[in-house]
Structure 1
């Protein structure tokens, strides 16, 4: 079958190429999905940058897919052949077909198309679990850094719907403009412009941004560190921390640690989209032959919202 393969080519210098891969060999609790659309996450572009020594042998990218089940699970679990689904496999999704655990997919209603569904899994699941880690948000002030990214988009809409007053931090006002339409109370372009204190800080940039965001916490507040988009290490002076907000807390977040299965959260995301309560921002839709071009554009930050590729 055809699939997107990692590895630069001498003639193009691109980080991925369209080539041939073996058909998936599903475990007894996995279905095979014929992929109609997939989205690209920045984390996957970081993995492609890291070299093969940072991945298991035979690794191919692809964690966010939507399509149709063409082979049901041998153990009888999961949806039947012909069912439209959105899925979150651990890898290999940038291909014509992919094996997916039946615990990591959700059925799609007719009202949710494959392109929209493909924009949901990683960013949407992360947003749901991040907000659970933050605790009750009704009436609370929330500072969200890296807000114009895929996760930030969902967090803003979901947190605002919970009654939070969200201050969204975006690198530029243009990239973050839609966040105000989704319910953000305020849009700023630098943590230094924030007017704290905040009950909750959701920090995803790293570098110098984390200590600056930490200083905005209210007494007893919580900072949840869920990303490092700047790719810069964080240096934190704990003497400054101790002199800061009384009883403030820092928590590291990984979306996979609370639950390694994703079907329940995917079903919740699909319900919210179908009900018109969650609105994925899709910045570009292209044929999957242009995956390398999309990766280049994502690295240059010229795409606002999710990048979705359709598989012919």
Structure 2
């Protein structure tokens, strides 16, 4: 079979290679991949790839071999999955606890855009707690996670202010329920009960100062790739009893969260924002555009005739 492997070349970060078809563990199903979605964080891993890296965590396709232990969907079932790695290939073995069955109305393109970004959004909002009537500031909002967070938080009754690099990148967020979109965190009109911070660098201290008393800042990314410096004494001039929490989405099993995302999409309550679709022969070019923030929302690559 064919798979994409890292090259270490920033201008063309992946290339095709021949590889043996995966041999699933007893609790894994073998999936014929129809579509996959790279994440911006994966583009950073490709800059200096570790030996043996097989990228790819967001896939949708068809079960061609059910798990030997009897768990999970049967052969012939359409699924979305979140494997540990190896999804940028014609076939991938996925633990059955990290699969969800797809209804007929959800195509592989939509489904592939769900796993990492959607699971992150779900778990991030659970960490934030009850949002009804609360004011939420979301930085770095124009990526895949930001679109899901905005729509889900707004549906839960939050007043979401989103920070995006340009007005164009923020237009869709207002359609999804954001009450305001600004281009600089300093322009956000606080105070906010919850700050969801994903950029790091100089923006985090500014966002922290926007918190209401006893508010919470949840730090879930560092898209600027710049270190953060915080001055403890700034707390005396800012929100009293503020809390800072670190968040990372990872931790299998993922199947329940995937099934939740699928159900929300099927019921029209969640809308994957796909800014770019292309054949997987164009993956290298798409990865560069994703890394350089030239894609709004998710990018999805197709293998064969995915719909």
1:49, 1:246 → 2: CA distance?
Answer: 41
| Partner SS state of residue 31, structure 1 | strand
| Partner SS state of residue 47, structure 2 | helix
Which of residues 181, 191, 196 is equivalent to 2:190? Answer: 196
| 5+ residue gaps, structure 2 | none
Report deviation, 1:169.
Answer: 0.4
2:292, 2:219 → 1: CA distance?
Answer: 24
Contact 2:8 2:46 in 1 (8 A): no
Equivalent residue for 2:25?
27
Equivalent residue for 1:170?
164
Which of residues 263, 266, 280 is equivalent to 1:271? Answer: 263
Distance 1:153 1:17, change over 3 A: same
Aligned-residue CA RMSD (Å): 1.1
Contact 2:8 2:49 in 1 (8 A): no
| Partner SS state of residue 40, structure 1 | coil
Contact 1:226 1:253 in 2 (8 A): yes
Report deviation, 1:13.
Answer: 4.9
1:15, 1:276 → 2: CA distance?
Answer: 36
Normalising by structure 2, we get a TM-score of 0.97
2:157, 2:240 → 1: CA distance?
Answer: 25
| Partner SS state of residue 78, structure 1 | coil
Report deviation, 1:304.
Answer: 1.3
2:100, 2:165 → 1: CA distance?
Answer: 34
* Greater alpha carbon shift after TM alignment, 295-304 vs 76-85: 295-304
2:178, 2:214 → 1: CA distance?
Answer: 23
* Greater alpha carbon shift after TM alignment, 118-127 vs 14-23: 14-23
2:188, 2:289 → 1: CA distance?
Answer: 29
1:212, 1:304 → 2: CA distance?
Answer: 24
Report deviation, 1:242.
Answer: 3.7
Contact 2:11 2:288 in 1 (8 A): no
Matched, 1:224 2:218: yes
Contact 1:8 1:17 in 2 (8 A): no
2:40, 2:291 → 1: CA distance?
Answer: 8
Alignment of 1:102-251 (within 5 A): 102-251=96-245
Contact 2:97 2:252 in 1 (8 A): no
Report deviation, 1:210.
Answer: 0.4
Report deviation, 1:228.
Answer: 0.3
| 5+ residue gaps, structure 1 | none
Equivalent residue for 1:5?
5
Contact 2:161 2:180 in 1 (8 A): yes
Contact 2:6 2:49 in 1 (8 A): no
Matched, 1:39 2:37: yes
2:31, 2:120 → 1: CA distance?
Answer: 23
Structure 1 runs of 4+ with >3 Å offset: none
CA distances 1:84-103 after superposition (whole Å, capped 9, x unpaired): 00000011000000000000
Matched, 1:284 2:282: no
Normalising by structure 1, we get a TM-score of 0.95
2:175, 2:144 → 1: CA distance?
Answer: 16
Distance 1:136 1:25, change over 3 A: same
Contact 2:8 2:47 in 1 (8 A): no
1:195, 1:35 → 2: CA distance?
Answer: 45
